[in-house]
Copies of this chain bind each other. A is one copy, B any other.
């Protein structure tokens, strides 16, 4: 029993409905030049026989895989999986498959831009990964459409937030509360070299400069977009001779780490140190973190949609989609205990 019964093929449907396999193929895929009555008959047969085209065969014959790959630096981060949720929803609705890759090594990265991956997907969504010119060219010449989330690009569409503005919103908020010595946690050398941290640092500096303050590089501390990174950065900042009264963390996860470090020193948030993050992570509401909200799932759904559009019309121009942002004030920011000037 449970023999792996040969599954029903297009030939079976053709026999059943009395037409050729070519007509079945055309009828089922909604191509023109099929008599309505024929199409109906074929559809009825297909349904009755529970026919499902073999994706491998279709792929081989057509050269299209109806699959898109998504490459992220790591799978265990909240941000990436939120994006993935958005991507998956749109793709599934359109009948596309989603292939997932973690790009956590050079070899994985090579796999992404060279042979293997390319033959598996029609499109690629990269998240917080910046491609080199060579890599972009390789993908383009292989016919793989790319959409970038997080990092901008000239050669393909991207969806991101205005990162400078994100930082400006956060820092302006802290300035308006009276803070003048504001730490920065989160820029730094990202292994994937993408520009989000740099843009956010620019925004941070813009606000300080516009207010006539001098930028103190001592207050800028690199950190991964992670809890651990935030803790490490905050520990450093709090140990300064003249520590900041507020810290702008480049992501909520970083901010949680910052808060942890503040608490570990017996200090209070926001009485001793104000903290503001970016994302509006699910737990931000739990701990009352003030943050710059962005709809991360929307990043994913927009990216998927842009890619699908590109499939139907390859000539469509690359667009830069900016997701809206907003300051969400909660309980981790307040006026500094001692106003400095």
Q: Which of B2, B56, B59, B88 contacts A102 (CB 8 A)?
A: B88
A contact set with B: CB distance below 8 Å: 2-5, 7, 50-52, 54-57, 59-60, 65, 74-76, 78, 80-82, 84-85, 88-89, 92, 97-102, 108, 114-116, 119-120, 137, 140-143, 227, 256-257, 259-260, 282-283, 285-287, 297
Subset of 23 A-B contacts with CB under 8 Å:
A2-B140, A2-B141, A4-B141, A4-B143, A50-B115, A52-B114, A54-B60, A55-B120, A75-B85, A76-B81, A80-B81, A81-B81, A89-B102, A92-B108, A97-B99, A98-B99, A98-B101, A99-B99, A99-B100, A227-B282, A227-B286, A256-B283, A260-B285
B52 near A115 (CB under 8 angstroms)? yes
Shortest beta-carbon distance, A111 to chain B, in Å? 8
**Distance between Cα atoms of A259 and B92 in the complex (Å):** 36
**Distance between Cα atoms of A327 and B4 in the complex (Å):** 45
Q: Give the chain B neighbours of A88 by CB distance below 8 A.
A: 75, 100-102
Known interface pairs A56-B65, A141-B3; A97-B85 also in contact (CB < 8 Å): no
- In the complex, the 4 A-B pairs of residues with the closest C-beta atoms, listed nearest first: A52-B115, A56-B59, A75-B85, A81-B81
Q: Give the chain B neighbours of A57 by CB distance below 8 A.
A: 56, 60
Q: Which of B97, B119, B257 contacts A286 (CB 8 A)?
A: B257
A56 near B119 (CB under 8 angstroms)? yes
Q: Give the chain B neighbours of A143 by CB distance below 8 A.
A: 4
**Distance between Cα atoms of A74 and B85 in the complex (Å):** 8
Shortest beta-carbon distance, A145 to chain B, in Å? 12
**Distance between Cα atoms of A227 and B287 in the complex (Å):** 12
**Distance between Cα atoms of A125 and B81 in the complex (Å):** 18
**Distance between Cα atoms of A97 and B111 in the complex (Å):** 12
**Distance between Cα atoms of A59 and B97 in the complex (Å):** 16
Known interface pairs A3-B141, A119-B52, A297-B76; A102-B92 also in contact (CB < 8 Å): yes
Shortest beta-carbon distance, A191 to chain B, in Å? 17
Shortest beta-carbon distance, A281 to chain B, in Å? 9
